[in-house]
Every structure is written in C-alpha cells, then in structure tokens.
C-alpha cells in the first residue's frame, strides 16, 4: 500500500499536450477514479502512473520514492485493462500464476498464492478451465486475480468492466469495491461512466482536455461542482442549468423572479456579477401545478421510471428536468411552477462557467 504523488505532470505526444500540468495526491489505500469524456487523457495518466509512458515533465512518487525513471516491472503495480487479454492457451491457474513464474517464485508458493487469490475472487472452481470456457464476468475476475497475485502496492484499472453487460457491471463493481477495501490496496480506476465513479470511488478526479478540473469525494463533486462541466458530466439526468440575471436581491429568470439564495447573497455583492447560470439537480426541485412563487414554466414531456418520473419543463426556451413522485399526473403544455431547494442551488459565472464560490 503506497501513497501516489503526481507533481506537475505534463505529457506531450509530439506537439499535442495530452496531460497538462497534473497535480494529484492519492492516499494509502484510497480508491481514486479518473473520470472524463473520451480523449480527455485518463488512460494516458494511468499509463504514466504505471510507467508505460514517461512524462514529458514532472515527477511521480510512490511514498517518498521517486519512480519517474523506474520501469513498470519495478514499480510493483497490478494492471487490469479494458480487454483483459488472458492467455488463451493457458488454463486459469496458469494465467494467474504467470506473473509469479516470471519472478521465479518457488512452485509451492505459487500454488498457495494462486489458490488464495482465486478463493478471494470466488473462482477456485474455475482454475482448470481455459479462458474460452468462461463468461465475461469470470474472465474479468481471472484478470483481476492475475493482477492481484503479485500483491501489488498499486492496482491500476483501465475501464476493466466495459466489456461486461449492464447487470454484471453493477454486481462486479460492488465486489471490486469490497475487495479493494479488504486488501487495503491503493487503486486508480479509469472510467468514463459517471455512475461507476460515484458508486466505487473514495474520490473522483474530473479530467477534461488533459487538465484536472476538480478532485473530491463523490458527494463533493456531485453537490458542489466547481464547473458547469462537472455538474453536467455527473448525474443522470445531469444538473439543470438556466441563465439568470441579478436584479437587486433577486434573480430574474425569463418571466420569473426568485430571491438570491442566502448562501450567495454576500458573494454576489462582493463579486459584482450580473449574469449567472443557475444550476440545480433534478432531485432538488419540486413541481407544483399552476403559477406560484418559483420558476414558471410548461410541462414539455414526462417519463415514468417506476417509483418516480422525470418531467421535462420549458422555462422560456430552456429545458429543465425534475424528478416527481410516480402518482402525480401532468398533461402536455400544463402550466407549472418549479420550486428549487434553495440550499442546493449552485450559481456559476456565465462567462467562465465556474461556480461563484471558486472565483474568489
Ligand atoms: P478514452 O476514454 O477514449 O480511452 P482517454 O481519456 O483515456 O479516452 P487518452 O487515451 O488518455 O484518453 O488520450 C488522450 C489524448 O491523447 C487523445 O486525444 C489521444 O488521441 C491522445 N493520445 C493518446 N495516446 C497517444 C499516442 N500514443 N500518440 C499520440 N496521441 C495519443
């Protein structure tokens, strides 16, 4: 178990900057998710931690040890890739044993370690099979076992579940989270799936265009996004955004006016901003029939989801979504008022799309 420190990491491929001055500390035993859209640099960062890529500049430390120049095989890492690439001609036992054989570990010890890790991953009964005789989920566990058998200090996961079907992913992610905590191993997990990152990670680093936009616990990044991008990237449906203009103690939003949320009153004065983006989560508003205090709009559509439904409302020409309990009935075009939970409102600067509290 080690602490990973990334210090001013920049990685260029010719003149393209894939990672732009990354600073990140990953604690002992922490599960860190690297989350971002395709091409944002997540895998490049993971491979840089692994030593497969050498940073163009910056340093990497495992605890106090500077590993920047150390090759992957001497970093004591376990890597699990998107396509697990098990050796097809080897049985599960030999697939798992392979890294230990490379290290010339005595045969008896290999036997013991393979059985131990197989037990932990519930694949003891599969050791005699070939990879093609396994389901996707079983193959994934074998790949995990192969990474863990070396007792690595760091487990590096590059979208290891993307080949699994939706149900299996949910099952495997719970297992993987438990396993990582039981082993107390430091883990870095690359994913573009926000639900997976929220569900599994102790902290999430949001990456966009080679830069880290925000690092925080799932709660922090979900409820206190630093940028509109973060609010939009996390959550399904994502955070709602609507333009608002500051008018004395109020925010004007099309035809509606709501008081400036208490937590922003001083800040708005101090920053003297006039145009903001108001953000709120679909769960943090209530929908009331008719015209009342709040944001007045019209029902555009509704989608039942079992226990609740998502209602899409147009306010001026902005669409927003609100979760509504299942029993409530609305009709297309009906006039409604959206009442947002004041303490959950996040205001962003319209120009920079950065939350106001991060502007000072
Ligand atoms: P994905 O989710 O699609 O895997 P990612 O966030 O992991 O995306 P990276 O694979 O890290 O993204 O790629 C980041 C950027 O760096 C991309 O624009 C990619 O084209 C570029 N890139 C990655 N590897 C190389 C390489 N070996 N040579 C040149 N450019 C590269």
Q: For 15-65, how does the pLDDT look when each residue is reduced to its tens digit (9 = 90+)?
A: 999 999 999 999 999 999 999 999 999 999 999 999 999 999 999 999 999
Residue closest via CA to ligand 1's atom 31 equals 13
> Which residues sit with their C-beta closer than 6 Å to ligand 1?
13, 16, 18, 36, 38-44, 192
Query: Which stretch of DSSP H or E encloses residue 248?
Result: none
C-alpha closest to that of 26 among 220, 203, 234: 203
Q: Which atom of ligand 1 lies at the shortest distance from residue 41's CA?
A: 11
DSSP 8-class letter at 317: T
Number of the ligand 1 atom closest to the C-alpha atom of 16: 30
**d(C-alpha 194, C-alpha 206), whole Å:** 10
- Which of 10, 37, 38, 44 should be mutated for ligand 1, with most atoms under 8 A from CB? 44
pLDDT-derived band at 85 (thresholds 50, 70, 90) equals confident
d(CA 48, CA 10): 10
Q: Does residue 182 carry a pLDDT above 90?
A: no
**Fold of the domain built from segment(s) 4-233:** Rossmann fold (3.40.50)
CA of 38 to the centre of ligand 1 (A): 8
User: What per-residue confidence (pLDDT) applies to 84?
Assistant: 65
pLDDT at 177: 87
The pLDDT of residue 167 is 81
Per-residue pLDDT band for 95 (boundaries 50, 70, 90) equals very high
Average pLDDT over residues 4-12: 98
Residue to mutate, 43, 48, 206, ligand 1, most ligand atoms under 8 Å from C-beta: 43
Q: Which CATH architecture has domain 240-358?
A: Beta Barrel (2.40)
The residues with which 256 forms a beta bridge, in sequence order, are 253
Domain residue extents for the chain: 4-233, 240-358
- List the one residue out of 102, 104, 97, 344 whose CA is nearest residue 225: 344
* Reported confidence tier of residue 138, pLDDT bands at 50, 70, 90: confident
pLDDT band at 175 (very low <50, low <70, confident <90, very high): confident
């Amino acid at each position: 178990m080690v602490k990973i420190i990334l210090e001013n990491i920049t990685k260029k491929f010719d003149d393209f900057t894939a990672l732009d001055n990354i600073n990140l500390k990953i604690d002992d035993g922490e599960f860190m998710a690297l989350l971002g859209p395709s091409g944002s640099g997540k895998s490049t960062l993971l491979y840089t931690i692994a030593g497969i890529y050498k940073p163009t500049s910056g340093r990497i430390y495992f605890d106090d040890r500077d590993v920047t120049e150390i090759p992957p095989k001497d970093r004591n890492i376990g890597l699990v890739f998107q396509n697990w690439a098990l050796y097809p001609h080897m049985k599960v036992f030999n697939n798992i044993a392979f890294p230990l054989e490379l290290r010339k570990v005595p045969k008896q010890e290999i036997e013991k370690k393979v059985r131990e890790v197989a037990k932990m991953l519930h694949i003891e009964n599969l050791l005699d099979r070939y990879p093609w005789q396994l389901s996707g989920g079983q193959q994934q566990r074998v790949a995990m076992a192969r990474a863990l058998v070396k007792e690595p200090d760091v487990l590096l996961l590059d979208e290891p579940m993307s080949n699994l079907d939706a149900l299996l992913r949910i099952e495997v992610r719970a297992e993987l989270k438990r396993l990582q905590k039981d082993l107390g191993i430091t883990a870095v997990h690359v994913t573009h799936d926000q639900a997976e990152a929220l569900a599994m990670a102790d902290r999430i680093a949001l990456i966009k265009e080679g830069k880290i936009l925000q690092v925080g616990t799932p709660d922090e990044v979900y409820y206190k996004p630093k940028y509109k991008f973060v609010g939009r990237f996390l959550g399904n449906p994502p955070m709602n955004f609507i333009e608002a203009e500051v008018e004395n103690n109020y925010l004007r939003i099309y035809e509606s006016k709501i008081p400036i949320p208490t937590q922003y009153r001083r800040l708005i004065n101090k920053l003297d901003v006039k145009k903001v983006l108001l953000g709120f989560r679909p769960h943090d508003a209530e929908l009331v029939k008719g015209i009342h205090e709040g944001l007045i709009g019209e029902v555009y559509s509704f989608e039942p989801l079992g226990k609740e439904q998502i209602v899409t409302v147009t306010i001026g020409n902005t669409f927003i979504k609100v979760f509504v309990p299942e029993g409530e009935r609305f009709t297309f075009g009906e006039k409604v008022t959206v009442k947002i939970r004041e303490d959950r409102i996040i205001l962003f600067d319209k120009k920079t799309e950065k939350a106001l509290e991060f502007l000072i």
